[in-house]
Amino acid sequence: MANEDTHLIETNRSSDSKNGESTAIDHEKAQRGVRLLLEAVGENPDRTELTETWKRRVPDVLETFSEGERLEDKPTMRTFDADSDGLIVKTGVPVYSLCEHHLLPYHGKAHVAYRPEDQVVGLSKLPRYVRWQSRRLTMQEQLTRDIADGLADEIGAEAVLVEITATHMCEAMRGVETATATTTRATVGSPTDTEQRRFRDAIQRAEDST
């Protein structure tokens, strides 16, 4: 075993598997990586205040932030029969994701709408689904597309609209050092002009009320 490995603690989650699928990140690798990063910035990872940081805290954070990579963490998208042919709109869903270029967070609000075919999904599942999709390394455009395509598949919706407005910490805290909002949109199916207008109006109302 390499010298640095002698610092590593065993976690029984690192090798969990269910039906051959990984159910967790590789904690041992994460511990080793965080130790190296701390050393790279001139820190002593064995300083008392930092030991839990690389042994437990940051690997746990990475596990949470990568839930969207694992199918078993996907929320159960239970649907119900419902006689609803209008657009169902959910606004102001919090989004926290990680930019794949700088490994820094971006956060904002997602707005989601769908026209059901013959089934509607439980309301709470929309924010749950957005959160699950967000917990991965991705670009905002791709996240918006993945939520729209994924929801269309899950619900069997005739049309889906997703809009995300977010601020990227990689633009705010470093680099250009300017916090500006970025809005991205993805559509599945063919929302009518009236539906598009209803979606925009609902977003406007949500923004006016905050």
Ligand X SMILES: Nc1nc2c(ncn2[C@@H]2O[C@H](COP(=O)(O)OP(=O)(O)OP(=O)(O)O)[C@@H](O)[C@H]2O)c(=O)[nH]1
The answer to whether 31 touches 59, Cβ cutoff 8 Å, is yes
Q: Is 31 a catalytic residue?
A: no
What tokens does 20 get?
């051959």
Write down how long the chain is.
210
Footprint of Zn ion on residues 160-179 (CB under 5 A)? 170
Least distance from ligand X to the Cβ atom of residue 200, Å: 22
Residue 182 buriedness (CB in 10 A; 0-12 / 13-18 / 19+): middle
Footprint of Zn ion on residues 102-121 (CB under 5 A)? 102
Cα end-to-end distance, the chain, whole Å? 55
57 binds, among Zn ion, ligand X, none (CB under 5 to 8 A by kind): none
Per CB under 6 A, 139 contacts ligand X = yes
Measured between alpha carbons, how far is 145 from 187 in angstroms, rounded to an integer? 8
Per CB under 6 A, 140 contacts ligand X = yes
37 binds, among ligand X, Zn ion, none (CB under 5 to 8 A by kind): none
Among candidate residues 67, 111, 168, 171, the one labeled active-site is 168
Number of neighbouring beta carbons within 10 Å of residue 121: 23
Per CB under 6 A, 176 contacts ligand X = yes
Footprint of ligand X on residues 156-175 (CB under 6 A)? 168, 170-171, 175
Among candidate residues 142, 158, 170, 196, the one labeled active-site is 170
What tokens does 162 get?
């997703």
Footprint of Zn ion on residues 54-113 (CB under 5 A)? 99, 101-102
Q: Which stretch binds ligand X (CB under 6 A): 21-29, 34-42, 76-84, 133-141?
A: 133-141
CA 187 to chain CA centroid, nearest Å: 19
Measured between alpha carbons, how far is 103 from 182 in angstroms, rounded to an integer? 18
Measured between alpha carbons, how far is 195 from 44 in angstroms, rounded to an integer? 57
Binding residues for ligand X (CB under 6 A)? 99, 101, 139-141, 168, 170-171, 175-176
Binding residues for Zn ion (CB under 5 A)? 99, 101-102, 170
Would you please indicate which residues are annotated as catalytic (active-site) residues? 99-102, 140, 168, 170
